Each structure stands twice: as C-alpha cells, then as structure tokens.
Structure 1
Amino acid sequence: MAKRILCSPRQIVGLKFRKTSFDILNDLLVNFNKANKYELNNLGKGSGSFKQKKPIEYIFLITQELGLDPLVGYHAVELLQRFMAKHLLDLLAVPPEGATAVEPTSYEDVIFDQLKDKFSLIIFACVQLANKQFLYSHMIDINAAVRFLHSIGVSASKQTVLEFELMVFKGLEFNLTVLNPLTYVEILLEVLGHNEPSVPIEHLYQLCRHVLQFITLQRTAIYDSLLRITTQCANPSREQREKFVTVTEDCMLLGVGVIAVATFIFHFKKWKQVVGELSHITAISRRSITDFARVALMHIVGTSSSEV
C-alpha cells in the first residue's frame, strides 16, 4: 500500500465503505480528531449526566418505532445531553415564581418536578432535530409526530410539539453539530479498511452497531469497571471520577473500543493486528484499547473475570 492514513476526521453522512479517496479520508480523520479533542478540552459541568440507560432506551425505541436511521438515535442522545446540561443551569439560576432564595432545595424540587412532565417532549424534540440534521433520513411531519406521541401516551398538540422543538433548538443555540459515536465507528472502519484491506469491515460494521448499542445502554457499568481497572482502586474518589469524565466522553476511544470488541468476537485471528492498526490510526495506546475491549467483553459475557 502506497499510503497509510494517520490521525483523525469530520462528519459526513451516508459514508460508503471502500468508496472514499485517500485525501478525503485523511481530511475526515484529522477533522474528527480535532473535534474530539476540542470537546474533551471544553467539557462543561454535568457532562454525560443525561446519558443514562432509561432516556437512551427511550430514544432508541422512538427511532426504531419511527423507522429512523440508528445514526439519528445516537445524535439525539448527544443533543439531549447538551441541551439538558445548559437548560438545567439556566433554570436553577432563576428560582421559579413563589420560591425564596433561602430555600434552594425547595425550588430545585419544583424545577425537577416540572421537568419530569416535559421530559418526554424534550426527548422527542431532540429526535426530531437529529433526524432533520440528516437530509437522507425519513422525515416525520407534525401530524405523524402528534399521532406517535398519542400512541405512547403523551398528549400534545401540534403547537406544543413545535414549541418544544423550537425551545430545544434555541437552547442548543441553533447548533446541531455534535460528536456522534456511530459516525466515529464508521470513519474508523473506513480508514481501517483502507490501511488493511484484508480486514472484513463490511461484516464488522453490522456487529459494531450491536456492540455500540450494548455499550451505550450499559455505559455506566462499563465505564465504572474501566475506572476501577485504570485507577486500580475498588472505590475511586470523587476527584478520580471527575477526571475520568474525559474518558467517558472520548468518542475516539469509544470508536476504537467498539471495533476492537467486534473484531474479537467476529475474527479473533485478526484481533491483535486490528488493535495495532487502530492504535496507529488514532495514537491511542494498545493498552487503552485492550483495557476498554476487555471490560466491554466482560460485561457482554456477564462475567467478573478480567481474562479475555
């Protein structure tokens, strides 16, 4: 092979494997790496707080029921996290009407009670906005949106649905461009296939989608296990957990970890080769990739053993 691609990318939808030129792939990889590093260097308070199993399950079920691309679901998760982190801070900064400044706990409870009633519509708005980000995706018009919400027990008028969508859009400062872990998996697979043509990336991709979904839904347990392995501490301190957020929010690490797990399951003979190439592509150490894969596999097979 005349050229090998190093480093990282930029978001493009509808990526087809083995169809992208070297120059485009290289630009994608570099831009993705820059975007990932920028996000990790600018993590806000509460990063990852809304990536819990229940809301993610809710988002995935909505996208499945509406026949949307899985990419939409992952994008919606990121939009929800970004919106809610900012929205909560804005709400807590201004006590609700009737609350006193000397009773912060009481008005916090009021705010959370109000959010509980609105949360389903906020999540749906994130799905709608994520879906509109990808022009090739199946569009859900307002009538279909209202019918779907009614079918799952959420009563809302057309105007209410549109108002929530606009509220979330404004809360995101009209910026729907966020990091998306599935897109990272796709671009890393494309680069891997370019550098190592013998790797069956088309088959790996189907398994990668299942692995990514599992890791996303079991995110808390998996990253908690990874934290304990990294710190070699059964009960990591608060400071250690706070520093570890840069690991939990690292889309590049998640991407290589997903591919490593899928390769271990599908084509074990290629595993060391793939891990080495992923390390070469991203500059993430083999040890970090291996640790991530080991922990994810441990949870997939449901064992406490550290041997993989």
Structure 2
Amino acid sequence: MDRIFGTPEEPLFNDKYTAVTADILQEWLISLASINTKTITCPLEQGLFKSGEYAEFVFNSCDLFKMAPEAKYLALEIFDRFMVQHIKDLYSHVMQSESKHYQADWKSLLDRIKNQLKLRAVSCCQIASKLTSHYHIISASKARRFLRDHCGHRYAAEGILQSELRVLKTLNYNVTMPSTLTYIETLLEILGHNNREAEVKVYHAVSMQVLTVVYISYSEVYKRLFEVTVRSTPNKDRNKYMAVRADKMLLAVSVIVSSVYIADQHLSDKITEELSTITHIPCDDIVDLTSVIVQLILEGNK
C-alpha cells in the first residue's frame, strides 16, 4: 500500500517530483570533478587517519550519536585532514623554536596528540553534524557525556568548545569539502537518469556498506592497488601513490561497481562502461580498484 503520511526513505533518486534537470546534474558533476582535481594535485598525506582503528572509532561514535551517513563520512574526512595539518603545524613549531631539547619536546607533543585523539575525533563529529543537519547536532554537553561514558575522558565544556575551535582554525574553516558519499550519490543520480532500469537504490544501500569496509581497510586497499598496477611498492613512487589515494571520483566509481558486482554480477561490466563514460575514468582503472575492493570483501567473508 502506498504511504499516505511521512516521506520515503532518503536519498530519493530520480524522483518524478523532486529530481533535478540534466543540466544541473552536469553542473554538479563538473563541480565535483573540479574539486577532485585540486585535491589530487595537492594530496598532502591524506588518508593516513581515515583507516583502521581511526575509521572504526569515528564510525562507531557517529552511530552512537545517531548521525546520518553523510555526516559519518564527512566527519572522517574532516578528522583525517585536521590530524595531518595539526601534526605538520606542531612539528614546524618545534623545529622553528630552536630549542636544544627539540627531540624531547616533540616526543612530549606526540604523547599529547595521542591522548587527545578521541577528543579531536568527537570534535570532527560535532562539526560534521552541524554541516549536515539543522536539528541533529552534537552539542558540547552531548560530546562531554560521550567522552566520559564511552571513552573514560573527562573534559570541561570549555575544553570541548576549544577543541572544536582548534579543528576549525587548523583547517582555516574549510570544512565543507564533499565526502566520497557525495560523489557516490551524485553518480548514482546521473546513472539512474541515463539508465532507468538501473537499481540505484539497491546500489546505494550496498555502496554504503562497501565504503565502510574500504575505509577500515583504506591503507591495505591502496597498497594492493599500487602493487597490482605498477608491480612495485608505494615508496618507490610516493607522489603518484598519494594522488591516487586522494582521488575520490575513482574511489566512488569503484565502490559503485563493487556494489553492482555484489548485487548482480552480470551487470558490472555494463555499469563500469556507463560510469567510465560519465566520469572519463578509463575502464581499466575502475576495474583495478574494484578488483582489490571485491577481493578484500571476499576475504573478510571467509
């Protein structure tokens, strides 16, 4: 029976009442591609803090806070970017201090960074909650209770606020970068617009599960990808390695194809070609990363 009250489960793909036009979809894709190109050009050391235990802690925290999926992945992106820049800033400060005890000073700072990891991660969750919702935000009091009850850390409300401000200042308030899920949902909308038979709602549900697995195994995913594609190790061509890790468009496409393979293996080649046409990413590149992702998922299910 059709639902009379309430709204359908989001996101809505190619809805006949709310779907945007092809021109707007094209503008969205161009905008995302432009942002992605800038990220690839200056990849820094991104990805170091969105893998393994870091990803698990952020995801589990967001689940306990009952945050939307977009906020969850955005929080991880913010945390990764903040930690990389935060450590670089502190290291530069120590090196420029001309202290005779810079090694001891740096070790002391590293210990402080480790002790504050969970606080910083929760601050990133707070920021992500405010960027994605007008009423499901994580207040300072909520963050304080969470850190006390689930992490065993006691912070004053002022400390919670100062940590959130530290994240914002370190990133120069540039916290609105699209997450990989944004790329995935935009590509699925375009895919559904071009191919009305594509089960984009199913692919989206599977994609979120696949993306979670990818982030938890992030370092291993790209280590394997690099070994497969260049028959070498990441350290021998670090710039190229970091650029590929920073490519959200490639990751989004590969996650979707992996999800299609899981949902209906017979359609994966067709969807790969369609997404290659949409993004101009070579099919071989998509297949390489997709193969690594699917292999890791299969190994995890044994």
What is the TM-score normalised by the length of structure 1?
Answer: 0.88
| Cα displacement (A) at 1:239 | 3.2
Please say if 1:17 is aligned against 2:13: yes
Is 2:61 aligned against 1:62? yes
- Partner in structure 2 of residue 150 of structure 1: 148
Partner of 1:166: 165
Letter in 2 for 1:35: I
Pick one of 281, 287, 290 that aligns with 2:278: 281
- Name the structure 1 match of 2:31: 31
Deviation at 1:276, TM superposition (A): 0.2
What's the % identity of the aligned pairs?
28
Residues 289, 93 of structure 1: alpha-carbon distance in 2 compared, 3 angstrom cutoff? same
- Which amino acid in structure 2 is aligned with residue 56 of structure 1? A
Secondary structure at 2:116 match in 1: helix
User: When the two structures are aligned, how many residues end up with a matched partner?
Assistant: 286
Contact 2:47 2:218 (C-alpha < 8 Å) held by counterparts? no
Question: What is residue 224 of structure 1 aligned with on the other side?
Answer: 223
Asked if structure 2 preserves the Cα contact closer than 8 Å seen for 1:179 and 1:251, the reply is no
Partners of 2:52 and 2:218 within 8 A in 1:
yes
Matched residue SS, 2:13: coil
Is the 1:193–1:201 contact (alpha carbons within 8 Å) kept by the matching residues of 2? yes
* 1:239 paired to 2:236: yes
Amino acid at match of 1:117: N
Deviations 1:25-48 (A, max 9, x none): 11101100011001111222x222
Instruction: Give the superposed CA RMSD.
Output: 1.9
Q: Which residue of 2 aligns with 1:4?
A: none
Deviation at 1:82, TM superposition (A): 1.7
Alpha-carbon separation, structure 1, partners of 2:246 and 2:135 = 26
- 1:293 is displaced (CA, Å) by 0.9
Shift of 1:51: 2.0
More helix by share: 2
Q: Which amino acid aligns with 1:30?
A: I
Once residues 234 and 148 of structure 2 are traced to their aligned partners in structure 1, the CA distance between those partners, rounded to angstroms, is 45
> 1:74-93 alignment to 2 at 5 Å?
74-93=73-92
> Within the alignment, does 1:265 sit opposite 2:245 as a pair?
no
Aligned residue type for 2:286 = I
CA–CA separation in structure 2 for the residues paired with 1:253 and 1:123: 26
Report the alpha carbon displacement of residue 176 of structure 1 after superposing the two structures with TM: 1.3
Structure 1 CA distance, aligned partners of 2:202 and 2:105? 52
CA contact (8 A) 2:46 2:245 kept: no
In 2, distance between residues paired with 1:137 and 1:219?
31
Alpha-carbon offset, residue 67 of structure 1: 0.4
Corresponding residue of 2:245: 248
Provide the TM-score with structure 2 as the length reference: 0.89
* Structure 1 residues 211-258: Cα deviation after superposition (integer angstroms, max 9, x where no partner): 11111111111111111001123xx16232332111111000000000
**In 2, Cα distance between equivalents of 1:240 and 1:297:** 25
Structure 1: where are the runs of 5+ without partners? Answer: 1-13, 304-308
Instruction: Give distance in 1, aligned partners of 2:51 and 2:104.
Output: 25
Gaps of 5+ in 2: 1-9
Provide the secondary structure at the position in 2 that maps to 1:60.
helix
Kindly indicate whether the alpha-carbon contact (under 8 Å) linking 1:69 and 1:137 is maintained by their aligned counterparts in 2. no
Q: Which residue number corresponds to residue 112 of structure 1?
A: 110
Deviation at 1:204, TM superposition (A): 1.0
